[in-house]
Homo-oligomer: A and B are copies of this chain.
Amino acid sequence: MRILLQFPEGLKQHALTYAQEYERKGDEVIISAEPSYGACDIPIYEAKLLKCDKIVHFGHTKYMDIREIPVEYVIIKADVDVKGVMKEVLKKIAGKGYKKVGIITNASHLHQVSDIKEILREGGVEPFTAKGSIRCDNEAQILGCDVSALNKIRGKVECILYFGAGYFHALAPGAVEDYTLPPVLWADPYSKEVKWIDEELRRIQKKRKIALAKAYEAKTFGILVSTKIGQYGLESAHEIKRAIEKEGRKAVLICGGTFDFTSLNNFTDVQCFINTACPRLIDDQSKLRIPIINASDFWTMIRAN
């Protein structure tokens, strides 16, 4: 069987090792080099072109029903100590006097959520979790683009604990939502760092508002449409184009997979990008010459006009 393996960036370091495990079982392996930021981004086109019989996607839980080719989702369970870092978490929470704490985490720590809850309870803190949307329907699970598991407990808690490594997930509450958040504590079990990240979250939200303010001034728009299967939004892009043209401004649809920022910067006759692809694309605002706003922000802008 020929298999296409797909890894998020943090697991690419072991790619050869994983490939050889499959080869030992008699499979033929090809690895996708493309950046993979989630299960929204399954390389169906590549798998078909390379005549693969199956895709094995590492690091994320199932997101969509894919009919074109069998897709297997493999979660690499984080093999990292919870206790040490949780001691520090309890100290930080006690320092603020909080008693009710919401927990969110990424896929690789889902098996540790019950331990985290137990440790909090032992420390006199009541833990809260919820299952998110259908895209992340495990207790406490969030995605970079979906913090519904947080939204469901938001009203009940005094602060939020994000457990896991990496800025991408830690900053999701601020990047995905733009209304007032409870304080957010980030515990990284690898670096053992535990810190309140409210300032970072507010900074993200401020950046979005600045981009939005600049977008109001733009006369020409490039509407980004993703060719990734779970990010595809052509109809949404068309609607946005019509709304822009109704206002007497100009717009063009621009498609891409993992958008290349150098290439995007070469569209010099465009003054603002509107993003219908991965909503976290706008995190890379600093790499772009012009403002980029999400489709949802665009509609807010249009309604305000």
Closest Cβ–Cβ distance, residue A150 to chain B (whole Å): 29
A176 within 8 A of B: no
Contact between chains at A227 and B45 (CB < 8 Å): yes
A182 within 8 A of B: no
Contact between chains at B263 and A35 (CB < 8 Å): yes
A13 within 8 A of B: yes
A92 within 8 A of B: no
Q: Which of B9, B30, B267 contacts A253 (CB 8 A)?
A: B30
For A250, what are the chain B residues with a Cβ–Cβ distance below 8 Å? 16, 20
For A30, what are the chain B residues with a Cβ–Cβ distance below 8 Å? 225, 253-255
Q: How far is the CA of A252 from the CA of B13 in the complex (A)?
A: 13
Q: How many copies altogether? A: 2
A153 within 8 A of B: no
Q: How far is the CA of A190 from the CA of B10 in the complex (A)?
A: 44
A247 within 8 A of B: no
Given A32-B255, A260-B34, verify A13-B267 contact (CB < 8 Å): yes
Q: Considering the complex, which residues of chain A in the window 140-180 have a beta carbon less than 8 Å from any beta carbon of chain B?
A: none
A112 within 8 A of B: no
A17 within 8 A of B: yes
Given A15-B252, A34-B256, A255-B31, verify A9-B234 contact (CB < 8 Å): no
For A267, what are the chain B residues with a Cβ–Cβ distance below 8 Å? 12-13, 15-16, 31, 33
Q: Which of B12, B13, B263 contacts A12 (CB 8 A)?
A: B263
Given A227-B45, A250-B16, A269-B15, verify A257-B257 contact (CB < 8 Å): yes
State the main secondary structure of chain A at its contact with B.
mixed
Q: Considering the complex, which residues of chain A in the window 41-66 have a beta carbon less than 8 Å from any beta carbon of chain B?
A: 45-46, 49-50
For A234, what are the chain B residues with a Cβ–Cβ distance below 8 Å? 50
Q: How far is the CA of A45 from the CA of B253 in the complex (A)?
A: 17
For A12, what are the chain B residues with a Cβ–Cβ distance below 8 Å? 263, 266-268
For A20, what are the chain B residues with a Cβ–Cβ distance below 8 Å? 250, 252
**Residue in chain B with minimal CB distance to A36:** B263
Q: How far is the CA of A46 from the CA of B19 in the complex (A)?
A: 29
Q: How far is the CA of A260 from the CA of B259 in the complex (A)?
A: 10
Closest Cβ–Cβ distance, residue A70 to chain B (whole Å): 18
**Residue in chain B with minimal CB distance to A271:** B16
Given A252-B31, A254-B30, A255-B46, verify A263-B224 contact (CB < 8 Å): no
Q: List 15 A–B pairs whose Cβ atoms lie within 8 Å, in order of A's numbering.
A: A12-B266, A12-B268, A13-B267, A16-B220, A19-B252, A30-B254, A30-B255, A33-B256, A33-B259, A33-B263, A33-B267, A34-B257, A34-B263, A46-B227, A260-B260
Contacts A15-B252, A15-B269 aside, 12 further interface pairs with beta carbons under 8 A come to A4-B255, A10-B266, A13-B266, A13-B269, A30-B225, A30-B255, A31-B253, A32-B256, A33-B267, A49-B227, A50-B227, A260-B260
Q: Can you list the 10 inter-chain pairs with the closest CB atoms, starting with the nearest?
A: A33-B256, A12-B266, A13-B268, A16-B269, A30-B253, A19-B252, A33-B254, A45-B45, A35-B263, A31-B254
